[in-house]
Each structure stands twice: as C-alpha cells, then as structure tokens.
Amino acid sequence: MLQKLNTKSQHEPGYIELKNITHAYDTKKILDDISFSMKDGEIICLLGASGSGKSTLLRLIAGVEALISGSIKINGNIIVDKTTFIPPERRNIGMVFQDYALFPHLTIIKNIMFGNNRNGKITREQAMTQLEYIDLVAYADDYPNMISGGQQQRVALARTLATEPDILLLDEPFSGLDSKLREELRVETKKLIKTKNISAIFVTHDAEEALYLADRIILLNDSKIEQIDSPKNMLKAPSSIFAAQYLRRYNIVEVSVKDDIVVSPFGSFNIKNLCCCRHTKLKSNHKIAHMLIAENDIHLETHDAPDKFDHQMDVKVLQINHYSEFSELQLSVEGLNQPLTLRTSLREKDVMIGDVYQAHFNYKNILIFSGDQ
C-alpha cells in the first residue's frame, strides 16, 4: 500500500529502526534477520567483506530495492513492511555512491542545484553555500571532467547535502581514490556530517575507515550481524575470532585450558588474570582453544623494555619485510610449529635474519576463544 510519510514523530529527526530484515536473491540469502536502530546524528558503518549484504541493506533503507521480509522505520514512521511502502523520494534520504553520479553536461554549481530541498528547488545561493563547505567555490562554473576525482566526490556529497536529508547513506564513497586522498576525505566528510548533525550510514569493507568514521560499527558476516559496538569496544572486546581478525592482525596459536589454566607453547597462564576471558566467555576447561596475539603487541627486547604484565620468550628472526610505515618480522619460537609475525612502526634496520632475541608480549592484551569458533 502506497502511503505518504507523516513527518510528525515522537522520535528525534534521523532516527532509524530496522527489525527482522531478511532478503534473498533467488535462493541465495543475503540478509538474515537483521535488526538494529540508530540515534539522531549518529554515524554507523556497515562493515564486511564483499557479498556480506552491506550495499543491499543500504538500498533497502533508501527504498530503491523491494523488501522481502521485516520492517523499517524512520522518525517513528513505518516506511516499509508487508503492507506499507513509502517511495524513495518521500523518505528524505540522501545517497552518495562510489561512482559520484555527476551529470557531465552540467557545471558543478548546476549539478548541486539539480535536486530539491524541503522548500523546493535549490537556489544558486544555497548551492554556493555547499561549495563553501567543501572549499570548491572557485570551481562553480567548471564541468566535472575538469576537476579531480577527490573534488568530484566532494561535489557529490555537497549535492546530496543541499537536499537537506534527515539521513545520509554512503556506499563506499572513497573506494576509487588513492590512499592519501581517501584519508583526507574521511576527515573532511566526518567533520561535515557532524557539523550538520546528520544521521549517516557508511558502507565499507575497510576496517580502518570504519574505525575512524563510526560512532558504532555493524560487522556483517555470512548474511548475519556478527557484532554491533563502538570502535573502542570492537577492538577491546571482539565477540569472535572473525570480528577480532577483521579489525586487527593477529597471530593465532592453538592452546588448551584445564582447571582455569591456559596451557600454551609459551607457558601457562591463569585465565583469572587475563582481561580477555570475561569478554570471550571462556570456560574453565577446553581441550582446544585459540590464543590471539596482536602482531603489533609483540616486541623485541632491544626496543621495548618488558614490564610485569609481559610474557617473555626466546625468538629467532626468520624473515624481515620493510614497508612505508612499518616493518614486519617473522619469528620462530621453540615449541611452536608456526612462525609469529611481529609488526612494528619502527624500522628495524639493525635487526638481521638469524638474530636471536628475548621477545615479549603483554598477556593482558591477548584474546582467547574456544576451539569451536
């Protein structure tokens, strides 16, 4: 049933609530019982690998794809369920795509003036205000092919913001840009969205991008929500090995747990002394469990002095790889049938393959999950 959206609401503008969203293409389930809500002015990042359902979820919220099962509310109003469908143009939602979608035959200013806002057509003065926000006033009368990709993405964002949306949906808007420009636009875009207090949902497969942009991250895995939490809590207390590995690089070592004692190739630990175990709900006995040690939490004695929370071990350097912002060392450990990876911001120029060190990691930072994950 086609309805008009009632703009009066008991909720703050921009509030979104999704309940039991299930979606499929033919027999392939893309989204499986997805439910979450977001506050006014909140930035949420839908994070996950290709094919996890991120963009599909965005299209369902926007109304450009038909919902199969579940319901979506905006501002307390049902916009789609079994009996209701509010068309996209009445949802007051703005979308920004990765391909910019600018009109090549229109100037920058006319691209921004193309849409409507709450009061009707967007005036040149209003469009110029948006160009001031993105610092592109000097390019107002240029055409899209006359400016860079990063500038085009700014224009696409400005064009959407000129329509005064309650909610902004951004589908991997920075994916086609080089890394330096991508980082710059993240900063600019977040600042702009927060300044205007707009509720925004970003789709990305980039963990770094999600950690920087989001107030909360929704991590999708195999058509379901793996975890919803703030970036800080996602890093500190991942709900699964999948969540942990998606956000950080870890060494995974098989261990066992007996009578609250973790038995590992590095020695034994009492799980009561490990911060991780209250997060991972590790039981007192596991024949097989997995210990996760962050690659950047292993240190060599020459560069970082250990403290009382550090566990020490003898290692031998097997391989060294230098990158622009970090060095990566492969280390062998006696009793362990796999190398450990150490990743550091230091350029270990004086470390040589074959060197032996007493390395250490902080046992307060390790994660341990049961073997059935």
Report the CATH number at residue 354.
2.40.50.140
Do 130 and 157 share a structural domain? Answer: yes
Q: Which of 3-12, 56-65, 75-84, 303-312 has the lowest mean pLDDT?
A: 3-12
Answer yes or no: is pLDDT of 373 > 90.
no
pLDDT at 144 over 70: yes
Q: 172 with 282, same domain?
A: no
Q: Is-contact 222 52, C-beta < 8 A?
A: yes
Mean pLDDT of 96-122: 87
Which of 201, 236, 271 is where one domain is finished? Answer: 236
Residue 63 vs residues 5, 40, 94, 337: alpha-carbon distances, Å:
13, 20, 11, 52
Domain-located, residue 4: no
User: Is 3 among the domain residues?
Assistant: no
Domain boundary among 236, 263, 278: 236
User: How many domains does the chain contain in total?
Assistant: 2
DSSP-assigned states of every residue in 123-192: PHHHHHHHHHHTT-GGGTTS-GGGS-HHHHHHHHHHHHHTT--SEEEEESTTTTS-HHHHHHHHHHHHHH
Q: Is residue 332 domain-resident?
A: yes
Report the pLDDT value the prediction gives residue 263, as an integer from 0 to 100: 86
Q: Examine the domain organization and report whether 123 and 194 are in the same domain.
A: yes
- The single residue listed with the structure tokens 């900063």 is 187
In a domain, 241, yes or no: no
364 has a pLDDT exceeding 50: yes
Q: Are strands 216-221 and 43-47 parallel, antiparallel or unpaired?
A: parallel
- Examine the domain organization and report whether 73 and 216 are in the same domain: yes
The reply to whether 307 falls in a domain is: yes
- Same domain, residue pair 129 and 270: no
Cα–Cα dist 3/201, whole Å: 25
Same domain for 228 and 329, yes or no, is: no
Q: What is the pLDDT of residue 372?
A: 67
- Asked if residue 5 is part of any domain, the answer here is no
Pairing of strands 267-270, 120-121: unpaired
Alpha carbon distance 340, 349 (integer Å):
19
Residue 213 belongs to domain with CATH number: 3.40.50.300
Q: CB-based burial of residue 2 (10 Å sphere; 0-12 exposed, 13-18 middle, 19+ buried)?
A: exposed
Q: What is the pLDDT of residue 123?
A: 92
Please say whether the beta carbons of 95 and 128 come within 8 A: no
Does 262 share its domain with 284?
yes
Round to whole Å and give the CA distance between 163 and 323: 43
Produce one character per residue of 303-324: b if its CB has 16 or more CB atoms within 10 Å, e if not. eeeeeeebbebebbbeebeeee
Do the beta carbons of residue 301 and residue 369 sit within 8 Å? Answer: no
Identify whether residues 230 and 262 lie together within a single domain.
Answer: no
Query: Quick one: average pLDDT of 220-227?
Result: 95
Does 246 have pLDDT greater than 90? yes
Do 208 and 353 reside in the same domain of the chain? no
Last residue of a domain, one of 208, 236, 264: 236
Check whether residue 220 and residue 263 sit in a common domain.
no
Which range is least confidently modeled, 71-85, 142-156, 227-241, 258-272?
A: 258-272
Domain annotation covers residue 168: yes
142 and 184 part of one domain:
yes
CA distance 272 to 255: 16
Which residues span the domain enclosing 50? Answer: 16-236
The reported pTM is 0.87
Most distant CA pair in the chain: distance in Å? Answer: 73
41 vs 93, 194, 222, 327, CA distance in Å? 14, 7, 29, 39
318: pLDDT strictly greater than 80: yes
284 and 231 together in one domain: no
Residue 243 domain-assigned? no
